[in-house]
Structure formats: structure tokens, C-alpha cells
Amino acid sequence: MAFELPELPYARNALAPHISERTLDFHYGKHHAAYVTNLNGLVASTDNAEASLDQIIATAGPGGLFNNAAQVWNHSFYWKCMTPSGGGDPTGDLATAIEAGFGSIDSFKEQFKAAAVGNFGSGWTWLVRDGADLAITKTDDADLPLTHGQTPLLTIDVWEHAYYLDYQNARPAYVDTFIEKLLNWEFVAQNWLV
């Protein structure tokens, strides 16, 4: 089975002015697409040719196969973490869980921002379910919570290609905008219920 680049859940210009169509053309149309193409090349005519993305991630050792499979998964998840009408605060059971886990919604946002801004180099910052608890975690390069027994609820991509065209080296401004203008709490709540 060949892997396909999933459709974005919005038009490429829908996140503007916060994330430009130009950034999505490169980030989604070039970077994410390249991971899909590379992954298909790596699994063709191998035992992984019929494996799911999750199966490949679970069984691949360090190296190109894992990196490309994980980056396909990470990016596919990341796009859903944003919505043109995002931001604000969570509601319902998710809000209650975040308040219990982090003291308040504002405290969660501050801790998530600090983790994302402080994530050295290239990687991802996540809100995860870790057992019965919520936690903020960071992964380097293509790594993801699935390999650590955690359930991802939310992620922000802090590789430079996610924000450099729009924010240059101002990662804090990108993270602020993600939280306040783009964060898709409805998607996070769906992940919380699983």
C-alpha cells in the first residue's frame, strides 16, 4: 500500500495572516510531501510494503525508515492541531483536566510556550496523556510520544521550516500566535476522549 499525502483540513491560505500560504506551500507541499515520497521509496518491495504507519513507527529502528514514517505521522497530526478560527480556551472535561494538571488554563499556556520556545534545535512540543496524567513533553527531530507509551493530544512543530518564512528567528512570536490564534481545541478534545 502506498502512503499518500493527506489533504489539509483547510485551504492553504486559510491560516493567513498567522501562517502564510507561502509557508504552507513549502512546509506541507514540499517538506511533508517529501517525507511521504521518501517513505514510499523505503518500504517498496519490503516487508513493510503493506504495514500501517503506526506499525512501521513501532518496529523501525533508528534511521531513515523511522524518521520518514514518524515525520509523516507528526505532520499529519500537526495540521489538525490548527484551525483558522482557533485559539481561545478549552471547555468541558478537557478544560477541567488541564486545570487539574497545570493549575489553570493560563498556566498550561505559559508552560507549553516555555517548552516550545526552549526546545533546542529541531523538534516538536506536545501535550500528552501519560497514563492518567497530562504532561507537556518535547521530542527531538522526528521522535514522537507514541514511542514513549504516551498518547498525543496536541503538538506544535518547532522545526524552523514551520515558521521561518513568516517569523524569521522569532520562535516565541510563532508559538504565541499558534496558541492564541490557531490552536484547535476541538481536535485536542477529541484526542482526550479517545
DSSP class of residue 16 equals: T
Q: What is the pLDDT of residues 132-179, one digit of tens each?
A: 899 999 999 999 999 999 999 999 999 999 999 999 999 999 999 999
How many CB atoms sit inside 10 A of residue 110's CB? 14
Q: Which residue has the higher pLDDT, 120 or 13?
A: 13
**In angstroms, what CA-CA distances link 119 with 79, 156, 171?**
19, 11, 10
- pTM for the full predicted model: 0.97
Cα–Cα distance between 70 and 27 in angstroms, integer? 16
Predicted local distance difference test score (pLDDT) of residue 193: 86
Predicted local distance difference test score (pLDDT) of residue 194: 75
Structural domains in the chain, sorted by start: 21-80 (1.10.287.990), 92-193 (3.55.40.20)
Q: What is the pLDDT of residues 68-117, one digit of tens each?
A: 999 999 999 999 999 999 999 999 999 999 999 999 999 999 999 999 99
**In angstroms, what CA-CA distances link 64 with 14, 40, 69, 142?**
32, 12, 8, 10
Q: Which residue has the higher pLDDT, 2 or 35?
A: 35
Predicted local distance difference test score (pLDDT) of residue 1: 67
3-state secondary structure of 77: helix
Q: What is the pLDDT of residues 45-71, one digit of tens each?
A: 999 999 999 999 999 999 999 999 999
